[in-house]
Amino acid sequence: MLRLRRDVFRKLRRELDKLTFIQLVIALTILTIFLIIPIISVLGKAFIYKNTLSLKYFEEAFLNPGMVKFPPSGAMIEVLERFRFEVLPNGTKVLRPLKTLYIGGKGPNFGYILNSIFVSISVMVLASFLGLVSAFIMARYEFPGKNIFRVLLMIPLLATPFVNAYVIGKVIGPGGLLNYILKDLLHVTDYTVIIIGLPAVILVQTLSFFPIVYLNMLSSFINIDPSLEEQAENMGAHGFKLFRTVTLPLALPGLAAGATLVFIFSLEDLGAPIGLSGAFGDGLHNHLMSFYVYEEFRKAMTLEQVHPVTYAVAVLMLGLASIAFLSIKKYVSLKQYAMLAKGGRWSPRVRKPGIKGLIAIYAFIIPLVIIASYPQLGVITLSITDWAISGALPSKLTGEYLAALVTKSDVVQAIKNSLTYASLAIVVIVLTGTSAAYIVARRDIPGRDLIDLLATIPIAIPGIIVAIGYLLFFGTVFSNTTIDPFINPGLLLIFSYSVRRLPFTTRAVFAGLQQTHVSLEEAAETLGASRARTFFTIVVPLLAANVIGGAILSFVYSMNEVSTSVILGSRNPSQGPITFLMSQVIYASAAVGTVSIAAALGVLLMVLQIIAITTSNYILKQRVAFLGV
């Protein structure tokens, strides 16, 4: 036992030098103060009742019919019929029926909790199907226009918070483009089709999130060793049987990772309910846990005005997201997907389809890219036309909304705020992410797996939980100080961006360390260089591309951060970032035409994303799956 203790002490002394100690302190300090403690604060509010551990607030949530309704109220499809008199050419008056087909008009409504689960599972399934099929087509078939479609399938990744949902609402609403096509182009005048409520939310989120599954599946299909499929074919497996028994199981890690991320992103999404509410002017799209929590804190001027059940609902969101993340991680780790060689990178199984196959491919891909790209095209249209006030189609071009980006004071201030917060967050992200990645990849110390988990798990933590934790912890412990979120939320937005977007840089740096052989560092240390000098003169230059690439992605996704921005920003609107201003404009769109200013901000964000993704891919010299999973 004594010898074992001595060995452990020697190992710690060897591994825990000054550099490692400083990196450990940086990573643990940032993650503890700005991630762990705020989450514990939320858990405390949810589970503590009169200074004792209790499930009272959870019981109230589940017993509240507004939270849980089963069976659900309302029907998915409802047809309302009304009549009008119509004069025929011969002068005869006839009573003509007019029917309105509502998809999701009054239901289904399972209550806030079950609605969120229903929507997230539906989006996950639909996005997985679209992502799987499109990835298989792009990975395994060679056809005219393939490179164009490869680019077009990436367009939905250009996030335009709130405005993309508003655009879809303009299409599927009563006076929208869909009914314009039906009535004016196809002359189907007897029916009006309106998609509203949960089906509308599912539609918006599926179009926004399916590229996450697509990218992960594309990477998985390309990396499959073709010899495994060839062996299966030699044993008689062909067509769908080959896909079901060999190809899909080998690609399951990509599908599992992508589907899980879609579930989590759908669960915490605020863009779809707020954007659709702005488009329709009603609350049918808001019966979700994320919006319930957001609205409770938006309306409350102090923490005392927030009902304790709100914290229980927030913890339910956290629990669902964490269970999805951890269970799928366990599932993937339990299965063996090892291949002798990643042959797909150099010799992919690509074939040219026949005429029938080509027709099938185009029949799937063309409608998909048109529909999926429409929100982004609609955002551009909104920003340069009067579409927001003109009806189904725009009537004139205008540059006033884009000009507002440099002339309107509150817009300019929001842009400055976002640039400042994201830029300062990058400094924290690079320091924390590089430190955490280096410790995990290079140091053999107890607890490094925990650091790896803490640096990655922000992917699975809804931003709403982080924002609430900041309000609780910093709003009480540091009340009336410079880091009180009710006075100065800007400073905390910097750190919320830091922990929320940390995985981008951490995974990029970790990937670089895996590709850099440790013998280079050992050689420098053998020649007398200290570990710190080795790190700054050998490791950092070799990882520069990975650090820069990860930092660029972290920066642009910090600019797009929604959940923490809208909740913390509402405490002091003058310090609100771009996405906070966009939410205010969309949700309170009574001011005619201001929606187009939000669209102009969306165009700005899209331009930043295009520059960031292009630059990052150029620096890293590879196409990577979403979030590196």
346-350, 416-420, 505-509, 552-556: least confidently modelled range: 346-350
pLDDT in tens, 102-124: 787 777 888 999 999 999 999 99
Tokens describing residue 417: 């705020």
Tell me how far apart the alpha carbons of residues 97 and 82 are, in angstroms, rounded to a whole number.
6
What CA–CA distance (Å, rounded) separates 507 from 122? 29
5-51 residue pLDDT tens: 565 566 666 667 788 888 889 999 999 999 999 999 999 999 988 88
What does pTM read for this prediction? Answer: 0.87
What DSSP string describes 483-540?
T-TTT-HHHHHHHHHHHHSHHHHHHHHHHHHHHS-THHHHHHHHTT--HHHHIIIIIH
Q: Domain ranges for the chain, please list them.
A: 2-17+401-461+487-628, 59-398
Same fold for the pair 2-17+401-461+487-628 and 59-398: yes
The one-character DSSP state at 385 is B
Say how far apart CA 479 and CA 467 lie, in whole Å: 16
Residue from 112, 164, 136 nearest 295 by CA: 112
Distance, CA of 574 to CA of 412 (rounded, Å): 11
Say if residues 142 and 234 touch (Cβ distance below 8 Å).
no
Q: Are 165 and 279 in contact (CB under 8 A)?
A: yes
Q: Which is it for the CA torsion 38, 42, 44, 50, positive or negative?
A: positive
Cα–Cα distance, 228 to 250 (Å, whole number): 10
pLDDT tens digits along 55-84: 999 999 898 888 988 888 877 777 776 656
CA 608 to chain centre: 17
Q: How do residues 495-552 score in pLDDT, each as one tens digit?
A: 999 999 998 888 888 877 877 777 777 787 787 787 778 888 888 888 888 788 788 8
Strands 48-49 and 52-53: antiparallel
Which residue in the block uniquely carries the two structure tokens 């990643």? 342
Given a cut of 80, whether residue 318 has pLDDT beyond it is: yes
- The backbone torsions φ and ψ at residue 562, rounded to the nearest 5 degrees and listed phi first, read -105, -60
Say how far apart CA 66 and CA 597 lie, in whole Å. Answer: 35
Of 97-101, 490-494, 566-570, the one with minimum mean pLDDT is 97-101
Provide mean pLDDT across the span 288-307.
88
Kindly report, residue by residue over 348-373, the tens digit of the pLDDT: 678 888 899 899 999 999 999 999 99
Quote the mean pLDDT of the chain: 83
What are the tens digits of pLDDT across the range 125-176?
A: 999 999 999 999 998 889 999 889 988 888 888 888 999 998 998 888 887 8
User: What are the DSSP E strand ranges found in 191-341?
Assistant: 191-195
- Give the fold, CATH level 3, of 59-398: MetI-like fold (1.10.3720)
Per-residue tokens: 258: 């992508």
Closest CA to 69 of 130, 117, 101: 117
- Integer Cα distance of 38 and 30 in angstroms: 12
CA angle 551, 420, 418 (to 5 degrees): 90
* Domain 2-17+401-461+487-628 falls under CATH 1.10.3720.10: yes
